[in-house]
Every structure is written in C-alpha cells, then in structure tokens.
Amino acid sequence: MGRYHAQKLAARSDCRLVAVADPDRSRAEAVAAAHGCAAFPDFTRIFGMADAAVVSVPTERHREIAGACLEAGLHVLVEKPIAADMREADELVSLAKRKKCVLRVGHVERGNAAFRALAERMQRPLFVDAERLSGFKQRGADVDVVLDLMIHDIDLALALAKGEVTGISACGFRVLTDDIDIANARIEFSDGCVASLSASRVSQAPVRKLRVFQTDLYVSADLHAGKLRYVKQAAGSIEEVEENHAGDALAVQAEQFVSSIVKGRPAGVDGEAGARALKLALEVGRLVRERLQRFA
C-alpha cells in the first residue's frame, strides 16, 4: 500500500513527497525514483525533513512507528487497523493529542464516492447489510479477516448508525490460514439499527457490496464499481434510480489528510474513530474464536 500512498501524495500540488522509507532498500529506491525523492532504509531519517508521514507497515508495528513519528512532531496517517490492540490504539490517540498532531486512520472506504453519496441520502438506517469478499493475498495475512477486511464495513456501519452498540453475535471459520478467514457478524445499535456484515479472504471473485434500508428508501451500493441503486415508493409504484459515482478513494483520503493538517479541518477518520472500529473488530474476533473453540 505504501507505493500507492506515495503516488497520490506525489501527485498533489499542496504538499511535496520528500522521502520513502523501507527496510528493503531496493524497494524504497524504486518507489523514490518514480517520484524524485529520497530513499531511506530507516524511517527515522525523515525526522527533521518532513511535516507528516504515512505509516503503511504490518499492523504489529503501527504503535512503534506511528508513535515514533508522533513523538517527533509529525502528523500521521496510519493504515487500518489503527493498532494491534486497544492499549496501543489508546496510546496513539493520547500521544497525538499531547503532541497536538493530526492522527488519521486509513479507512479508505469513507472516501469512496458511492458511499459518500449513499450516506448523504440515509437519514435513519434500520438495516445495514455488507458483503466484502476477496481472494487470498499474503498482504494483510498478518491479521485475521475481521481486522483485514471486515473492519472496513464495521467502520461504515458505525458511520451510518445513529446509536451506540448494544449487542454483537459472530461466527467464522479457518480455511487457508491458522486464523479466521471467513466471518459474519450481527451488530445491534441502541437506535434500533442492525448491521449484518460478512467477510471472506478465500473467495474467487472480489465483492464489495453494501445495502442500506430505512423506512422510505433502500439503497444498494457496489463500492468496487461505484454504482448506486435507489429504490423507493412513489405515487403507488416502485421507483428505481441508478447512479454512477466514479472516484479515487485513496486520492480523496490523501486530500483529506493534507487538508486536515493545512486547514485544520476534521476530515477523514480520526484516531478516536479508528480506535472505535478496532474495539468492535476485536470483539467480533473474540466471539468467533470462542465459538471455534466450542465446536473444535
């Protein structure tokens, strides 16, 4: 993911990509050469020459590297999940506040044009149904499918629902790894909204579907293709409207990150929201593992 972040930031006119850091020197140099910036094997070399950093490393190193960047006074965009556990997540949030630095979390689907259009239309969602399927990739396999894929839709459900979480049930299975590869979660909120989320990283074709229902409207979104279908009743008949919302969610995320630094706008998913999504994802994972143990 780091090379994609580098591409989006290098293309902007309101910031300058000054360096790429990677312990694999040849990889850092290849990305840096494409954008005319420095390459370092040690990320601490950027201290003193950069104002902000994007941290795109395995999850278990988020606290270490994002924390070091914040301590050095850098604003940080850290890939999702924000950290490996809640203690580390809370430490990053507290550190950002103490250092008065921007901390954003890479829940990139919030920048998806189709999701943003959908969210504007939904006043009080009653049911959220999300399906996120992917073929197996080594990237992301350092965490289970809940933290790798489902956390995207956990964050979207938290953004759509108007109440607090009141109940969670979950199931899942191991298929190709020693951790959870398929999972389903049902999440209930205090305002009556219910979210049903499914995620798999052992599917043949990628799917990123989101369906949201409220009293007077049903919206189906293909987040991968950027397509929306609205269904409602009008004058005694069913009316369907389709829309296309093409866009570059990663570029939107980059714009939000830069704007939140330069203009002080609370754009994107901040540290608190990232920690909230992580807390719910960890609980889903815990429930899945307990169920697996009962039926082992």
CATH number of domain containing 217:
3.30.360.10
Ranges 92-96, 102-106, 177-181, 265-269: which has the least confidence: 265-269
Beta bridge pairs of residue 46: none
Residue 151 sits in the same domain as residue 224: yes
Residue 122 sits in the same domain as residue 266: no
Residue 53 sits in the same domain as residue 154: no
Residue 211 sits in the same domain as residue 173: yes
The amino acid sitting at 101 is C
* Residue range 58-79: mean pLDDT, rounded: 97
pLDDT single digits (tens) 278-289: 999 999 999 999
> Quick one: DSSP state of residue 101?
-
Token pair, residue 101, equals: 């630095």
The amino acid sitting at 250 is L
What is the tally of structural domains in the chain? 2
Q: What pTM does this model have?
A: 0.94
Return d(Cα 210, Cα 203) in angstroms, integer: 17
- Comparing 245 with 142, the larger pLDDT belongs to 245
Which residue range is the domain that position 63 belongs to? Answer: 2-108+253-270
pLDDT at 145: 95
* Residue range 145-166: mean pLDDT, rounded: 96
Q: Is 58 exposed, middle or buried (0-12, 13-18, 19+ CB in 10 A)?
A: middle
With a pLDDT cut of 90, the percent of the chain lying above it is 88
pLDDT tier for residue 84 given thresholds of 50, 70 and 90? very high
Token pair, residue 266, equals: 């609370």
pLDDT at 178: 86
Q: How far is CA 26 from the centre of its chain?
A: 28
Residue 113 sits in the same domain as residue 103: no
Q: Does pLDDT of 140 surpass 60?
A: no
